[in-house]
Chains A and B, each alone.
Chain A
């Protein structure tokens, strides 16, 4: 098994840029997906394959990758973006999946 590491919390003011990182040794070889989860709701996919945005997700959500770290960036943060964010990846044989511990985004 392996681990993905996320910061427990990130805080930004409305209109600023939030960056949430996800680190793991397998990440140079495997994609990361990002999910947003609001209280009492199921997660929602916001970024897939490190940088791709599903239809219906606002353009302010973007992703990037560098070595063992993948970053979710939310530009022009809005109050409605306050949520928990999780990264997910798989091992190199795509038989084992893992989530990061989650990051709570607080909009001040």
Chain B
């Protein structure tokens, strides 16, 4: 499967614990995005990378959240001291290098569903 993969698919944790999610984008896609989706809502942007550089962060990304893409390939999203309000589906997407006048179609992974008890 050459699509975007995410690991784990499900994570149950207790409040106060730290969790880390991984995203492997489609190879050669230089842009990688993280979104969060709560029940009944559309995905909300968290952050995105171009290669290893984190170029934009949403206000939703509090100090407890950190994302990295150290070698410009896979990315990790860590949540420290989890809260019940962090329970959501965390989606990763990637897109290829944009040629001039091309547009940003994003390819999504299956998501990691986080439940904080």
Q: A and B from one assembly?
A: no
Residues in chain B within 8 A of chain A (CB atoms): none
